[in-house]
Structure 1
Amino acid sequence: MDLVRATTDERVLRTLMEHRRLTRAELAVLIGISKPTAGESVRRLTEAGLIADTGVRTPGGRGRGRVGSYFGLAENIGTALAVSIAPDGVVAEAVDAYGDVVGRSEREISRPVHPDEVADGVSSVVAKICGSVATPLLAVVSAADPVDRITGRLVHLPDSPFLVGDLDPVELLAPHVAGPVVVDNDVNWAAQAEHAHADGPLDDFAYLYLGEGLGLALVNDGEVRRGATGLAGEIAHLITDGPGSRAMPLTDVFAGLGLHRPGSSAIDVDRLLLTAGHDHGLRQALARAISGVLAAVVALADPTTVVIGGPWGTDPAILAAVRDAFERARRHVPIRPAATIVQPSLAGARADATHRLRSAVVAAAHRTEHL
């Protein structure tokens, strides 16, 4: 009986998360349970403080039946944080169990990046959010650096363009949330956003990010594959076809083409786009280098599709050149531009935070069942 009640309560909660407010009768119809069963579940969840009467009533009387009460999630049920740490700044959002953004704060980061400034930025935007929303139950962090999948710390790799020291997002955010802090790199989150918003099945693909930095996410059976330590997809040092048909690490291609920012391994995106727009030779050089990387990815990971994102990866002229070059490879797969182009890593982190928050609310209902 406890299992039946717990299952019913979970279905009621998840249905309310989807539809926002419903009457007992509407819940019964949508879930496929009896009205008394729906009513008992509503009573239990209300007593547990997880849902509440919204105060809105259905029309009643004059042959239209009894007045019904609309129920929704309790206002103090909790929120989740989605945090993005990127070269252009730190952004923190609070989301509720409906998936709505109920708070947002951001702070720019100066160049060159100073680790202490980044840590202060993360702490300040999160503190500002937490002062205005219900208690965050968890946090999900996107970082534009490699991430150790065990500890959540950022990892130093040679020529990484956005090194922020020995930053530990878990330690920074733990005082602000009641539960876990989940950290992953920005390209993995962008790939998850692409998977979630794909127009049709997209369960096995490679997501190539081309921006100030270079990254790749591998998605297999709908899951991002991170590797033993979380560093799968770090492609900057993959050997490819460079200027003058010389074999070299991918990151050295941009140095050879004069496309790095002064004193940095970060790619100068504005200069790249400006030059590639009228320089056919540069577009071809970029296309050959990217095609060489994709050939290795296809040989090793066997994706059905390659999705290319990032501020210059989705440029139509560059994308067309990469397609043409890659089609000449012995093994190739279709290439398409990313569908999520506005802060894709934050979008992925936000979606994951919402999913985890909903699961936390359901878990709270299960705990109540056993009291």
Structure 2
Amino acid sequence: MERSSPDVVRSVTDEQVLRALMRRRRLTRAELALAIGISKPTAGESVRRLTERGLVADTGERTPGGRGRGRVGSYYALAPTVGTALAVVIAPEGIVAEAVDVYGDTVARATRPAVPGQVAAAFEAVAAEIDQVGPPIRVAVVSAADPVDRTTGRLVHLPDSPFLVGALDPAAVLGKAGSVIVDNDVNWAARAESDNRRDFAYLYLGEGLGCAIVNDGEVRRGHSGLTGEIAHVLTEGPDGRAVPFIELFGVLGLRQTGSTAIDVPRLLADPAAHPKLGTAVSGIIAAVVALADPQEVVLGGSWGPALADEIRAATARSPRPVPVRAAAVTDNPVLTGVRGEALNRLRSLVTS
């Protein structure tokens, strides 16, 4: 049996020490040895190496010692220089940016309104405000309520998109952050929903329309990043004829004035429209099932879960019915997905 090299053993031990400190925040060398299941000298050597690398620091706190209590122990924690992760959500409701530390705590927060034509400037403002606070930003994760080109990270404008950010290159604005990951809001909401679920379709039904496909635990983005743009998929209209999904809301008088955005309060207050919408959404689900074969369909957005019964009943009549349920994550799922990814990437950077 081939034995591990000393370098590999040291690397694994150091990662275990770092992850233990992420969980417990501060530990003595003796506590680290007990938590990981290694000897005290091995724990001490790992702490020394990590301190020299600037990843671990002595907090200055000491355990009680003397008079039969044993030797005084020093508490160690992750050094502030391990940095933070930036989580940003760009949505019609506004722009939110949070700096998250390696423990998952929000250490800084900035917001700006998303005024049409001024979104790019507002995005730069929140990024600059966060950048002035606390430890350095090592990774940034951005959500935009517009499609995102997976190659460039730039926002893509499609016909009938209700929320137009304008020309924006998040990676260029956040260049100092190191790695920058950009994706659309529906994909991030699906990531928030994907705990222990590996195959499903996430339908976002709100002021805008979108779909995310999660297969084998991964969000599928397609060649250019535009998978799930369902607005122009043909479905059944109120008169039984085929109609692009986005146009249905104009036919039913459920659009906001002067916009392709859906008027959600009016939609929810119009029960006569709900069976028609259930039928139309079931047509979208049939197309998604035919192409992506999800195990289930999850309904998110501001009106999708409210019409779950109508959508479920219509879907049950389709040739290939699948389970349909409302989203489990309802408290800001987009920010939840973005923060989770930002934290995971930061921790990976620290332990790599």
CA distance in 2, matches of 1:192, 1:341: 13
CA distance in 2, matches of 1:243, 1:163: 29
Q: What residue in structure 1 maps to residue 181 of structure 2?
A: 182
Tell me which moved more, 11-20 or 183-192: 11-20
2:351 aligned to 362, 366, 371, which one?
362
Q: CA deviation at 1:208?
A: 0.8
Contact 1:119/1:172 (CA < 8 Å) preserved in 2?
no
Amino acid at match of 1:303: P
Q: Deviations over 1:144-193 (max 9, x none)?
A: 0000000000111111111222221111221x42x111100001011111
Q: What residue in structure 1 maps to residue 301 of structure 2?
A: 310
Q: CA deviation at 1:236?
A: 0.7
The secondary structure found in structure 2 opposite 1:245 is coil
Structure 2 portions without partners, runs of 5+ = 1-5
The secondary structure found in structure 2 opposite 1:244 is coil
Q: What residue in structure 1 maps to residue 148 of structure 2?
A: 147
1:27 and 2:26 correspond? no
Amino acid at match of 1:36: P
The secondary structure found in structure 2 opposite 1:30 is helix
CA distance in 2, matches of 1:156, 1:206: 23
1:211 and 2:206 correspond? yes
Q: CA deviation at 1:72?
A: 1.2
Contact 1:207/1:309 (CA < 8 Å) preserved in 2?
yes
Q: CA deviation at 1:257?
A: 0.8
Amino acid at match of 1:99: G
Structure 2 counterparts to residues 266-277 of structure 1, below 5 A: 266-275=261-270
The secondary structure found in structure 1 opposite 2:181 is strand
Q: What residue in structure 1 maps to residue 9 of structure 2?
A: 4
Amino acid at match of 2:247: D
Q: What residue in structure 2 maps to residue 223 of structure 1?
A: 218
2:312 aligned to 323, 334, 351, which one?
323
Amino acid at match of 2:162: P
Q: CA deviation at 1:62?
A: 4.3
RCO greater where, 1 or 2, for CA within 8 Å and sep 6 or more? 1
The secondary structure found in structure 2 opposite 1:181 is strand
Amino acid at match of 1:249: P
Contact 2:149/2:156 (CA < 8 Å) preserved in 1?
yes
CA distance in 2, matches of 1:107, 1:56: 40
Q: CA deviation at 1:342?
A: 2.1
Q: What residue in structure 1 maps to residue 236 of structure 2?
A: 241
Q: CA deviation at 1:75?
A: 2.0
The secondary structure found in structure 2 opposite 1:171 is helix
Q: What residue in structure 2 maps to residue 108 of structure 1?
A: 113
Q: CA deviation at 1:94?
A: 0.3
Contact 2:90/2:114 (CA < 8 Å) preserved in 1?
no
Q: May I ask how many residue pairs the two structures share in their alignment?
A: 347
CA distance in 2, matches of 1:164, 1:120: 10
Q: CA deviation at 1:143?
A: 0.4
Q: CA deviation at 1:331?
A: 1.2
Q: Deviations over 1:336-359 (max 9, x none)?
A: 211222221111111111111111
Q: CA deviation at 1:60?
A: 3.5
CA distance in 2, matches of 1:26, 1:195: 34
Tell me which moved more, 259-268 or 27-36: 27-36
CA distance in 1, matches of 2:326, 2:63: 46
Amino acid at match of 2:146: D
Contact 1:139/1:182 (CA < 8 Å) preserved in 2?
yes
Structure 2 counterparts to residues 273-288 of structure 1, below 5 A: 273-275=268-270, 279=271, 281-288=272-279
Aligned-residue RMSD, C-alpha: 1.4
- Over the matched positions of the two proteins, sequence identity in percent amounts to 62
Q: Deviations over 1:10-59 (max 9, x none)?
A: 12112211222222222222222222111100111112211112233334
CA distance in 2, matches of 1:330, 1:98: 47
CA distance in 2, matches of 1:351, 1:321: 32
- TM (norm. structure 1) is 0.90
Q: CA deviation at 1:132?
A: 1.2
Contact 2:120/2:167 (CA < 8 Å) preserved in 1?
no
Q: What residue in structure 2 maps to residue 341 of structure 1?
A: 330
The secondary structure found in structure 2 opposite 1:145 is coil
Amino acid at match of 1:313: G
Structure 2 counterparts to residues 14-163 of structure 1, below 5 A: 14-110=19-115, 113-114=116-117, 117-163=118-164
Q: What residue in structure 1 maps to residue 3 of structure 2?
A: none
The secondary structure found in structure 1 opposite 2:213 is strand
Amino acid at match of 1:232: T
Amino acid at match of 1:191: A
CA distance in 2, matches of 1:325, 1:61: 74
Q: Deviations over 1:50-103 (max 9, x none)?
A: 111223333444444333222111123211111111111111100011111111
- TM (norm. structure 2) is 0.95
Tell me which moved more, 21-30 or 39-48: 21-30
1:254 and 2:245 correspond? no
Runs of 4+ in 1 over 4 A off after TM superposition: none
Structure 1 portions without partners, runs of 5+ = 364-371
Tell me which moved more, 54-63 or 144-153: 54-63
